[in-house]
Structure 1
């Protein structure tokens, strides 16, 4: 049984999610102590419990200590079974993070699966649906499997209530190299809002337009039904030939619309100023499939603490090493060996 200290590295829920996925793929049980020990409120939160429950369901697994607030779990994997599954976080907890937990095990299954995930789709503490659909899943498709995701209904924090549907057609993961973005194809800035004054989204777009040298037609505002709010997100998208970067800024009480836009634009500018393939959040997501493929290379702007922690967990389960090397350009290259 693999022993993991959940307070090491970034000390968050990613350790739990990656360990569950790796356990189901390899058939190796694990114990995590000090779950989310690096967080202000340690222990399992509702969305982590849902993610582990999903892993237990698709992988015929058992888990001791599976309660909200638990600081220790013991996970014993079983046989992964493809099928149709519906998982509800019950709050605005991220549907995308639940998907992250079960996607790779189902990619290795013997037939297609369909997931219905309900909860948060646009949550400031997790990649929004748009990032998953446009940045992450196209890379998985290039590696062999086919994964399509549909946003049926958005779910903002704190209300939640969102719904996504995901179809997974398994195939062997092949190692690929992702070193070049290719030419810039398109750019867009979209402010979505529901149940809040329209002026908030308008101010985000006005600020983004001032700071980005993008054509006027790249900027848009979209109002969602009031019943889906309150909520607000600014999505900046830069589509290249081989990858799409999606940067998000979330509106919240006490933070001006201008500040939301400025922060998002700053992050996008950092990516555009680099020649790296993956932004920091995409790099976090790619480590697991690249490791399971047995190799591959990608470049990223700068590895996050999430990435280093993910690499450490991966190395506990697989005979693989995930090494980051800084390049003369300032970007970093990830090699799976």
Structure 2
């Protein structure tokens, strides 16, 4: 039984999700205490409970403490089962986080899995659907784990109601870790504004401000098509496509925040990425660690990537991964970027449990 203190590092929900994902992949049970102790409302909120229940469903786990506001959890996994699954958060809580929780285990299953997920698709503090589709999923495909994602309906806080379909294909023994130390040549960059049920002027102002701030042409600024019944919400996205990687930067509109403020936040993040030559931005640097570590567990060896920043969220994630896998992370800063190296410390197992 692996014992994990949920108050360490950044003390958030990623400790829970990484533990669930790797427990399913390795067959190792864990006990987690002080869940989300670093948050204003500690314990399992509805979206975290949805992750626990989804993980338990996928692997037939025995679970103690799976209830709202619980600050401790014991998770004993069974065998991962490919299949057709429906997971609904039931609120505007992020269904993309539920998807990321079960994705690693299902990509190691022996058959394809088809998922229907409901909840928030574009939430602050969670990867938006388009980040998963354009930035995260292509890297997993290069690793050898293909997935197809489709956005059926946008879901914003507080209404929720978003819908995502996902097909996760089995990777088998094809996982091949690789170095990702440069972006490659620039292919394209563009911005989109999703603003269902809001005046069109909101989208125009955000895009105009972003275009001015980044020097982008009108052809790079797009008002995304939305259905009015998707409820009110606002997300401004900037997508940067390179030969080796794509990055997606997002800011969300909210009451009392002007369209210009939303745009300036995206401009700030894009500029911070552009001034550095590293391959990955701060969020992708965090989320790429787990699938890369799984590949190294299977194949052995060392793989590296460069990033613009290592957040406390990322370093905490490294620590949790190291509790489950014989993989160790190290980092070094040079020439304005950070190089992360992941090394399998034991001979590869050649198979997943």
Are 1:92 and 1:161, in contact at CA under 8 Å, matched by a contact in 2?
yes
> Equivalent residue of 2:15, what SS?
helix
> Equivalent residue of 2:287, what SS?
helix
User: Is residue 328 of structure 2 the alignment partner of residue 321 of structure 1?
Assistant: yes
* 1:332 aligned partner: 338
Gaps of 5+ in 2: 297-301, 344-353
Deviation at 1:226, TM superposition (A): 2.0
User: Is residue 138 of structure 2 the alignment partner of residue 131 of structure 1?
Assistant: no
Distance 2:111 2:205 in 1: 48
In the TM superposition, 1:263-278 aligns within 5 A as: 263-278=265-280
User: Is residue 200 of structure 2 the alignment partner of residue 194 of structure 1?
Assistant: no
Distance 1:77 1:303 in 2: 31
Deviation at 1:110, TM superposition (A): 0.9
The Cα RMSD (Å) is 0.9
Are 1:280 and 1:300, in contact at CA under 8 Å, matched by a contact in 2?
yes
Gaps of 5+ in 1: none
Which of 285, 305, 309 is matched with 2:287 structurally? 285
Give a deviation string over 1:10-46, Cα, whole Å, max 9, x none.
Answer: 1110000000011111111111111000001100010
User: Is residue 305 of structure 2 the alignment partner of residue 303 of structure 1?
Assistant: no
Are 1:193 and 1:229, in contact at CA under 8 Å, matched by a contact in 2?
no
Distance 2:287 2:277 in 1: 19
Give a deviation string over 1:233-260, Cα, whole Å, max 9, x none.
Answer: 1010111111111000100011111111
Deviation at 1:223, TM superposition (A): 4.7
Deviation at 1:107, TM superposition (A): 1.0
> Equivalent residue of 1:231, what SS?
coil
* 2:260 aligned partner: 258
* 2:83 aligned partner: 83
> Equivalent residue of 1:66, what SS?
coil
Distance 2:112 2:261 in 1: 43
Distance 1:119 1:62 in 2: 25
* 1:224 aligned partner: 226
In the TM superposition, 1:173-252 aligns within 5 A as: 173-252=175-254
In the TM superposition, 1:157-176 aligns within 5 A as: 157-171=157-171, 172=173, 173-176=175-178
User: Is residue 123 of structure 2 the alignment partner of residue 153 of structure 1?
Assistant: no
Deviation at 1:4, TM superposition (A): 0.7
> Equivalent residue of 1:239, what SS?
strand
Distance 2:333 2:293 in 1: 19
TM score, norm. by length of structure 1: 0.98
Distance 1:296 1:99 in 2: 25
Distance 2:201 2:323 in 1: 50
TM score, norm. by length of structure 2: 0.94
Distance 1:190 1:99 in 2: 23
Q: How many residues align?
A: 336
Distance 1:228 1:62 in 2: 37
> Equivalent residue of 2:69, what SS?
coil
Deviation at 1:319, TM superposition (A): 1.1
> Equivalent residue of 1:334, what SS?
strand
* 1:66 aligned partner: 66
Are 1:291 and 1:322, in contact at CA under 8 Å, matched by a contact in 2?
no
Deviation at 1:201, TM superposition (A): 1.4
> Equivalent residue of 2:74, what SS?
strand
Distance 2:236 2:101 in 1: 26
Distance 2:170 2:275 in 1: 36
Deviation at 1:67, TM superposition (A): 0.7
Deviation at 1:225, TM superposition (A): 2.0
Distance 1:275 1:97 in 2: 29
Deviation at 1:111, TM superposition (A): 1.1
> Equivalent residue of 2:25, what SS?
helix
Give a deviation string over 1:179-218, Cα, whole Å, max 9, x none.
Answer: 1111111110111111122221111111111101222200
Distance 2:105 2:153 in 1: 26
Deviation at 1:96, TM superposition (A): 1.0
Deviation at 1:146, TM superposition (A): 1.1
